[in-house]
A and B are shown apart, each in its own frame.
Chain A
């Protein structure tokens, strides 16, 4: 069956309207993309996580966020929600080791998983977040996180990588942390900073794993209060590193033992710093 005139002829007849219509559609799409997540995309699966009532003890808190790529058709990781990398085994193992080694009174288990805008976050001034390459906080969350850190909170940012010559993950994190602290300086941390000696004396910050290839140059950055390295650290950033992974797989032989040990040492130092400084 043929249609008289056809689509091509219709286009020809109304070509004067074509450009304005295209511009309108494009503007609407741009506006929708800028203001709301893609409305037609499915919501991330709601993962139920155990919750622990506040009791004054140290409780591991993991920040949950909506991954950046969600909803644009590129999401294809099933339950890989980015924020949940190494969850909950990392928490369990880390909490157990902290109790074994230190005098910190720590809640055992899988810790709490909280969104930045969950008011309970302010009951826990030490928090962990991974995969910030996929992190895209709302404006409200940006302000809440800024308040959280400046009032006395401490954030460990872990587990994001870029292949040599690429910087997509770093760029996203840099962009988002800049929203939290405009003009922020990400200071490359040196091993003589107190955070690396608070509990364990670390000799170096070499977290490369030769066994897994040597193409990610690991580095640790610090976000300081007032951009002043003499002041308190607000956040510590493990780039091209995955300390949580060391914790998660510590009960297997996945990583060399000395790296697992180093991962715990670093984590315990981060925790002790948050509790002491």
Chain B
């Protein structure tokens, strides 16, 4: 109750809605007239008896008091437009999601024991026929009850609420109310929710605009607490969706907490119940997410549901938001990489040997033995690379990555240069440039089409003489956290980098291209300028990497036989090079982890051998459910984007669904792709599950409603009553009994008395 309401007996906002009037009937007017006449007579007499100095103020006070009494006698009222009783409707929309089961709602002491103290408990007790909300609404409105979680529905009985929805989509609830209540006088929507929205955002904005246009105000009753006293939440997990078997991948985690600044928690990753990584993390200031980077290696091939877990704090109130599951597909097939080397050298044989035992990589190699003489190694057939370096896009684009050794730019034709550019930019392949006497600027690449792809700045041809430097290699700050240069289990691995022998380069490379990052740098004896040793950048759809050292084999020759640094380094670099390289045909589900009963959108991409998008393919997804049931889903060209096809599949069973996309064109197979969708009970509802006041306020503001606390049910009902939405009647609210009138009268009388006493009058 604010001050205006205390003084006037009505809420301030009603003063703006209504108009003032006097409601006194003829009898009361006569009585009032007589009283005023008598009053005036007394006033005149009284004025004469007062000495000159006090006459004017005392007369004024008495006149004012007389006027006030007269006004009260005339029965002042506030005339309002009120909702006609039982003529209008109010829709009550209740959040039926799992976050409502969180026990942070004081006052919810009735109802089933399991729901006591919960947001759900408050909702259920208020929605019973004898609940405060329903009783007050029932005095004036016809009510209609709706529930929403992922979808919305009309309820006949609050007992139908089970608070088990795995998603909160307020927009779905509002849409259903707007649709079902169209055509009836609707005074407003009461939204009972914590606002812990887990669904989409744009749709909600659209829905609010629609309600506003129709003049339907939404009045949220905000449940729950905004912040926990003690809680740590695994807010986000970012990890690649596909990885080669045996490869390490980096997972980026964001932790948020309340009440645990400076405390240490353990973050762990489990694959099939087995711990594959863990790290202890100190939590930062509240409201500031703590970022954690973990290097993990899934155990075996296939779709792997990786569970990321944060140990609960002591006395933590909500442990359900401490873990998340991410689906990663671990592929076992060998990725084909072309290594083209311009001269026989040790780097060639050592690099090949380093990855020879890696079954996930096939390093097809071609080395120029002499002018126009090549040697081919690890080719699939006698035809492969028979005519030298690929001269067509089809031939080159069949590889997923390309390693370019010490080969001068003039070796390639202009068309081959363009192909190399497109290999990364358009095909999305990985490209690695190795250091050497004929590489980088020294190989004449500056200013050629390939220059664009290289992640480092190339010196102009002829701008320098023969260059050679020996350098000690160290990871950069970024490199220390990057999985590609994690060569040891020890944190940071500084000791290992100190132990590794120095490498040499014949390429002067000291500047990165804008947007590129450096992972390894080298410093030579007496040379202050840092050489870039390993750098990378995204280029178009692909990635390019520069490794400027010419003799990484020294890591193999100079370290003990059992040391695996050299092997590990090249395995990681080459696996990184082929990671995320697109296939000609791809399939991507809108979500790889869903609730049973969900509809999953399938996005397919189809390209030809030159990686040109195809729009006229017949694209079908063959979905195999966990029980082995097969179904077909047609995907149609999206029209909005070349090569993009859309379709949707219904997920009816719990477990892993295999989706195989098959694309055909003109009776010929273009290709196929496989993806997985895991249907499981989701815990999304427990993330960001504190009350989202800002969202509820936005909903109220954009529709003309107002947010209410659970204790403000009476206010809410009154607000609805005078909302003027629906069938209205004229209603007068008495003002004659407003406390302010009697306080004013009292004030005048006390004023007069004081004046008289100080003036020496009796």
A residues whose Cβ falls under 8 Å from a Cβ of B:
54-58, 101-105, 122-123, 125-126, 147-148, 150-153, 198-199, 232, 271-272, 274-277
Contact = CB atoms under 8 A, between A and B. Distances in A.
B353 interface: yes
B295 interface: no
Nearest to A104: B344
A275 B556 contact: no
Interface in B312-356: 342-346, 348-350, 352-353
Contacts of A58: 345-346
Nearest to B371: A103
A123 B437 CA distance: 18
Contacts of B558: 122
Contact of A151 (B342, B371, B551, B557): B557
Given A152-B556, A275-B348, A102 B370 contact: yes
Nearest to B435: A56
Interface string B344-377: 1110111011000000000000011111010101
A198 B348 CA distance: 14
Contacts of A277: 349, 352
A262 B8 CA distance: 117
Contacts of B375: 198-199, 272, 276
A16 B468 CA distance: 75
A125 B347 CA distance: 11
Contacts of A151: 556-557, 559, 561
A103 B370 CA distance: 4
Given A125-B553, A152-B556, A275-B344, 7 more contacts: A56-B468, A151-B556, A151-B559, A152-B346, A152-B557, A199-B369, A276-B367
A54 B504 CA distance: 9
Contacts of B557: 122-123, 125, 148, 151-153
9 contacts: A56-B437, A56-B468, A56-B504, A101-B370, A126-B346, A152-B556, A275-B348, A275-B349, A276-B367
Contact of A102 (B369, B554, B561): B369
B465 to A, nearest CB: 14
Contacts of B369: 102-103, 199, 272
Interface residue SS majority, chain B: mixed
B468 A55 contact: yes
B550 interface: yes
B506 A56 contact: yes
Contacts of B373: 103
Contacts of A56: 437, 468, 504, 506, 550-551
A104 B345 contact: yes
B436 to A, nearest CB: 8
A152 B343 contact: no
Contacts of A125: 346, 350, 553, 557
A152 B356 CA distance: 13
B345 A152 contact: no
Contacts of A126: 346
Contacts of B468: 55-56
Contacts of B352: 277
A104 B553 CA distance: 17
Given A55-B468, A56-B551, A105 B561 contact: no
Contacts of B550: 56
Contacts of B470: 54
Interface string B258-280: 00000000000000000000000
B344 A272 contact: yes
B350 A105 contact: no
B339 to A, nearest CB: 12
A277 B367 CA distance: 11
B638 to A, nearest CB: 49
Contact of A152 (B350, B368, B371, B560): B350
Nearest to A102: B370
* Residue with the greatest number of chain B CB neighbours at <10 A, chosen from A57, A103, A153, A271: A103
Contacts of A198: 375
Interface in B462-480: 468, 470
* Residue with the greatest number of chain A CB neighbours at <10 A, chosen from B345, B551, B556: B345
A57 B468 CA distance: 11
Contacts of A199: 369-370, 375
A272 B373 CA distance: 13
Nearest to B353: A152
B357 to A, nearest CB: 12
A239 B550 CA distance: 35
A100 B654 CA distance: 69
B375 to A, nearest CB: 6
A238 to B, nearest CB: 21
A271 B370 CA distance: 14
A56 B502 CA distance: 12
A105 B343 contact: yes
A233 B437 CA distance: 28
A232 B353 contact: yes
